Amino acid sequence: MTTETTSPAVPAGYMMDAKGVMMPEQMVKPVRKLEDQAVRKILSFAQELSQQIARFKGHCFDDVGAFMALAAEQYGATYGGVKGGVTLNTFDGTMQVQVKNCDRLSFGPELHFAKSLIDECLNRWSEGARLELKAIVDNAFRVDKEGQVNRDQILGLRNIEIDDDGWRRAKEALSDAIRVEGSKLHMYFRVRRSPTERFQNITIDLASAEAPSAPQGSDGAA
């Protein structure tokens, strides 16, 4: 998301505080000046890097799209864009680029009913034989500091097979609780020294790559 401000120009010899008050530099404590300079220096590099990553992201998807379009021509097919994802490999099998279409999920009110049904199951079953499952369930439904439950563990509960009507109804409620709010393309880069070894990820967070603009009135200089 691009952010813009309309901060007024700061006259030479002055610094503007967070309330918009212009103060003569000699009235600002030296440590606050150093802090201001340090943050501006770091942010100038961060903004430049963010812009580079955003451009890199665009080039990567363009290159994958161009290859897929050329490959489609070889078969007389029409390329309509990467929807379900695609994995590309070098001929020697040591480098890999993968595009995945990942759904953004949330949970509806059925999640509360699922938790209630699971709690009923745990209460009916003997505790001694189900302690590990109880720990998994408690961890899955534990709300984090952002008010979110553990999505992956919630989804994982649907893969636990137990011959019990209550558990089956709980899993049905879990499935009904899932809401697909949209999807987003993610790109992953992997390398390995030889085809017999496991791939190692090259970590670049393209999913959230943006190029926010610098606030007006700040020169970003070190």
**166 within domain boundaries:** yes
**2 within domain boundaries:** no
* Together in a domain, 113 and 175: yes
* Together in a domain, 193 and 93: yes
Q: What is the pLDDT of residue 141?
A: 81
CA pair distance 122, 112, nearest whole angstrom: 15
* Together in a domain, 90 and 28: no
* Together in a domain, 16 and 98: no
**21 within domain boundaries:** yes
* Together in a domain, 152 and 169: yes
* Together in a domain, 23 and 97: no
pLDDT in tens, 168-211: 999 999 999 998 888 788 888 999 999 899 999 888 766 655 55
**27 within domain boundaries:** yes
* Together in a domain, 200 and 108: yes
Query: Can you point out the beta strands (E) in the chain?
Result: 14-16, 22-24, 86-89, 95-107, 178-191, 200-202
**Is residue 89's pLDDT more than 90?**
yes
**143 within domain boundaries:** yes
Range of the domain at 159: 82-209
pTM over 0.85: no
Helix (H, G, I), strand (E, B) or coil at 62: helix
* Together in a domain, 117 and 184: yes
pLDDT in tens, 15-50: 999 899 999 999 999 999 999 999 999 999 999 988
Last residue of a domain, one of 53, 81, 109: 81
Last residue of a domain, one of 30, 48, 81: 81
Helix (H, G, I), strand (E, B) or coil at 201: strand
**Is residue 103's pLDDT more than 90?**
no
How many domains are there within the chain? 2
27-31, 88-92, 167-171, 216-220, range with the lowest pLDDT: 216-220
**39 within domain boundaries:** yes
Last residue of a domain, one of 81, 110, 133: 81
pLDDT band at 95 (very low <50, low <70, confident <90, very high): very high
**Is residue 125's pLDDT more than 90?**
no
**218 within domain boundaries:** no
* Together in a domain, 97 and 76: no
Region 90-103: what's the mean pLDDT? Answer: 90
* Together in a domain, 66 and 91: no
Cα dihedral 203, 209, 215, 216 in deg (nearest 10): 120
Cα–Cα distance list, 56 to 94, 98, 205, 209 (Å): 21, 15, 11, 9
Q: What is the pLDDT of residue 40?
A: 94
Q: Is 180 within 8 Å of 104 (Cβ atoms)?
A: yes
5-9, 70-74, 94-98, 172-176, range with the lowest pLDDT: 5-9
Q: What is the pLDDT of residue 1?
A: 43
* Together in a domain, 68 and 107: no
* Together in a domain, 71 and 128: no
Q: What is the pLDDT of residue 222?
A: 37
Q: What is the pLDDT of residue 104?
A: 81
Q: What is the pLDDT of residue 2?
A: 46
pLDDT in tens, 128-179: 556 777 777 877 887 665 566 788 888 888 888 888 899 999 999 999 999 8
**222 within domain boundaries:** no
